[in-house]
Amino acid sequence: MSHDVTSSSSRSSAGTAPRHVVVVGGGPAAHRLAEALTTRDVAGALRVTVISEERHSPYDRVALSRRLEGRDDLTLATAPWESDTVTLLLGDRVTGIDREARTVTTESGVSIEWDELVLATGSHAFVPPIDGVEHARVYRTIDDVDWLVDEVDRLATSLGRRPRVLVAGGGLLGLEAAGGLQRRGADAAIVNSAGWLMNAQLDEGAGQALGKIIESQGIELHLAQMPRAVHVDAAGAVTSVELTNHKHVPADLVVFAIGIRPRDELARAAGLEIGERGGLVIGTDCRTSDARIWAIGEVACFEGRCVGLVAPANAMAEVVADRLLGGAAEFTSVDDATKLKLSGVDVASFGDTRAELPGALEVVYADPARGLYQKLVVSDDARTLLGGVFVGDAEPYAALRPLLGAQLSADPGAYLSVAGASAPVDDELPDAALVCSCNAVTAGDIRAGIHEEGCTELGTLKTCTRAGTQCGSCVPLVKKLLEGELTKAGIAVNNALCEHFSMSRQELFDSVRVLELTSFEEILTRFGEGHGCDVCKPAIASMLASHFDGYILDSGRGGLQDTNDRALANMQKDGTYSVVPRIPGGEISPAKLAVIAQVATDFGLYTKITGGQRIDMFGARLDQLPDIWRRLVDAGFESGQAYGKALRNVKSCVGSTWCRFGVQDSVAMAIRLELRYRGLRAPHKFKFGVSGCARECAEARAKDVGVIATDQGWNLYVGGNGGFQPTHAQLLAADLDDDALIRYIDRYMIYYIRTADRLQRTARWMEELPGGIDHVREVVVEDSLGLGAELEAAMAKHIGSYQDEWAATLADPERLRRFRSFVNAPEAPDVGFPRVAEREQWRPATAEEVADPSTVLLSGSTIPVRSGS
Partner 1 sequence: MGVPQRRKDPMTLLETRQYDSRQHEASCLGEGEREWVPVCPRAELENGWAEAALAGRHQVALVALADELYAVSHLDPHTGAPVMARGIVGSRKAEGEGHRPTIASPLLKQVYDLQTGLCYSDPTLFLECFRTRIVDDVIEVEVPV
Ligand X SMILES: Cc1cc2nc3c(=O)[nH]c(=O)nc-3n(C[C@H](O)[C@H](O)[C@H](O)COP(=O)(O)OP(=O)(O)OC[C@H]3O[C@@H](n4cnc5c(N)ncnc54)[C@H](O)[C@@H]3O)c2cc1C
Q: Which is nearer to partner 1, 211 or 538 (CB)?
A: 538
Closest CA to 416 of 469, 465, 475, 367: 367
Q: Does 769 bind ligand X (CB under 6 A)?
A: no
Q: Is 657 in the site for ligand SF4 (CB under 6 A)?
A: no
Please state the closest distance from residue 582 (CB atom) to partner 1, in A: 23
Q: Can you give 55-116 as a three-state secondary structure string?
A: CCCCECHHHHHHHHHHCCCCECCCCHHHCCCEEEEECCCEEEEECCCCEEEECCCCEEECCE
By a kind-dependent CB cut-off of 5 to 8 A, residue 834 interacts, out of ligand X, ligand SF4, partner 1, none, with: partner 1
Tell me: does residue 668 bind ligand SF4 (CB under 6 A). no
Using rule CB under 6 A, residue 822 touches ligand SF4: no
Is residue 661 a contact point for ligand SF4 (CB under 6 A)? yes
Contact call for residue 33 and ligand X (CB under 6 A): no
- Are the C-beta atoms of 571 and 577 separated by less than 8 Å? yes
Tell whether residue 163 is a contact of ligand X (CB under 6 A). Answer: no
Smallest separation, CB 176 to ligand X (Å): 6
CA distance 297 to 306: 8
| Residue 122 contact among partner 1, ligand X, ligand SF4, none, beta carbon within 5 to 8 Å by kind | ligand X
Q: Which of 310, 653, 729, 791 binds ligand SF4 (CB under 6 A)?
A: 653
CB of 516 to ligand X, least distance (A): 48
Nearer CB in complex with ligand SF4: 553/741: 741
Q: Which of 291, 591, 823, 856 binds partner 1 (CB under 8 A)?
A: 823
CA pair distance 228, 245, nearest whole angstrom: 9
Stretch that binds partner 1, among 378-386, 663-671, 701-709, 857-865 (CB under 8 A): 857-865
Q: Residue 153 interacts with ligand SF4 (CB under 6 A)? A: no
Instruction: Identify the burial level of 407 via C-beta atoms within 10 angstroms of its C-beta, where 0-12 means exposed, 13-18 middle and 19 or more buried.
Output: exposed
d(CA 737, CA 735): 7
Question: What single-letter amino acid sits at 436?
Answer: C
DSSP state of 635: T
Q: Is 280 in the site for ligand X (CB under 6 A)?
A: no
Going by their DSSP bridges, the two strands 835-838 and 841-844 should be labelled as antiparallel
Residues 6+ apart with CB under 8 A from 352: 360, 377, 386, 387
Q: Is 359 in the site for partner 1 (CB under 8 A)?
A: no
Binder to partner 1 among 259, 604, 771, 832 (CB under 8 A)? 832
Asked if 861 contacts 829 with a C-beta cutoff of 8 angstroms, the reply is yes
d(CA 198, CA 187): 20
**Shortest Cβ distance from residue 12 to ligand X (Å)?**
23
Q: In whole angstroms, how close is the CB of 616 to partner 1 at the nearest point?
A: 18
Q: How far is the CB of 720 from ligand SF4 (least distance, A)?
A: 16
Nearer to ligand X by C-beta: 207 or 308?
Answer: 308
Residue 637, classified by CB atoms within 10 Å of its CB into exposed (0-12), middle (13-18) or buried (19+), is: buried
Angstrom distance (rounded) from CA 350 to CA 860? 74
Other CB atoms closer than 10 Å to residue 801's CB: what's the count?
A: 11
Which region, judged by CB under 6 A, interacts with ligand X, from 119-127, 220-228, 389-397, 425-433?
A: 119-127
Which CB sits closer to ligand X, 279 or 586? Answer: 279
In angstroms, give the least distance from the CB of 648 to ligand SF4. Answer: 20
| C-beta of residue 831 within 8 angstroms of C-beta of residue 860 | no
- What are the distances in angstroms from CA 55 to CA 31, 126, 141? 15, 22, 11
Site for partner 1 (CB under 8 A): which residue of 562, 627, 757, 849? Answer: 562
Site for partner 1 in 3-22 (CB under 8 A): none
The DSSP bridge pattern shows strands 164-168 and 253-256 to be parallel
Q: Which amino acid is at 309?
A: L
**Mutual angle of helices 142-159 and 172-183, in 10-degree steps:** 40
Nearer to ligand X, 231 or 261 (CB): 261
Q: Which of 60, 153, 445, 696 binds ligand SF4 (CB under 6 A)?
A: 696
The least CB distance from residue 671 to ligand SF4, in Å, is 15
DSSP H helical ranges for 403-550: 443-451, 458-465, 475-488, 505-515, 520-527, 536-547
CA dihedral 815, 821, 823, 826 (to 10 degrees): -80
- DSSP conformation class of 294: E
Residue 661 interacts with, from ligand X, partner 1, ligand SF4, none (CB under 5-8 Å by kind): ligand SF4
Among 61-69, 75-83, 408-416, 848-856, the segment contacting ligand X (CB under 6 A) = 61-69
Instruction: Single out the segment in contact with ligand SF4 by CB under 6 A; choices: 89-97, 327-335, 693-701, 783-791.
Output: 693-701
Kindly determine how many residues on this chain lie close enough to bind ligand X according to the rule CB under 6 A.
35
CB atoms within 10 A of CB 147: 12
Neighbours of 15 (CB within 10 A): 5
* 584 touches, from ligand X, ligand SF4, partner 1, none (C-beta below 5 to 8 Å by class): none
Q: Which is nearer to partner 1, 358 or 868 (CB)?
A: 868
Q: Judged by CB under 8 A, which of 459, 723, 726, 860 binds partner 1?
A: 860
Count other C-beta atoms under 10 Å from residue 586's C-beta. Answer: 20
Residue number, 57 or 803, with CB nearest to ligand X? 57
Residues 574-613 that bind partner 1 (CB under 8 A): 574-575
Question: Among 35, 41, 53, 767, which residue interacts with ligand X (rule: CB under 6 A)?
Answer: 53
Q: Find the binder of partner 1 among 67, 183, 500, 835 (CB under 8 A).
A: 500
Helix (H) or strand (E) holding 601, with range, is helix 590-603
| Choices 43-51, 547-555, 642-650, 658-666 (CB under 6 A): range interacting with ligand SF4 | 658-666
Binding track, positions 234-263, relative to ligand X; x by CB under 6 A = -----------------------------x
695 binds, among ligand SF4, ligand X, partner 1, none (CB under 5 to 8 A by kind): ligand SF4
Q: How far is CA 285 from the centre of its chain?
A: 36
Strand partners, 188: 165
The footprint of partner 1 on residues 513-552 (CB under 8 A) is: 529-534, 536-538
Of 41-49, 275-283, 307-315, 818-826, which segment contacts ligand X by CB under 6 A? 307-315
Q: Could you give the CA distance from residue 288 to residue 293 in angstroms, rounded to a whole number?
A: 6
Given 34, 48, 50, 51, the residue binding ligand X (CB under 6 A) = 51
What does 662-697 look like in DSSP terms, one character per residue? --S-HHHHHHHHHHHHTT-B-SS-EEEEEESSTT-T
Residues at the site binding ligand X, with contacts judged by CB under 6 A: 24-30, 51-54, 61-62, 64, 93-94, 120-123, 139-140, 173, 176, 263, 266, 297-298, 308-311, 313, 341, 471
Residues at the site binding partner 1, with contacts judged by CB under 8 A: 499-500, 529-534, 536-538, 556, 558-560, 562-563, 566-567, 571, 573-575, 622, 818, 820-825, 828, 830-834, 850, 860-861, 863-869
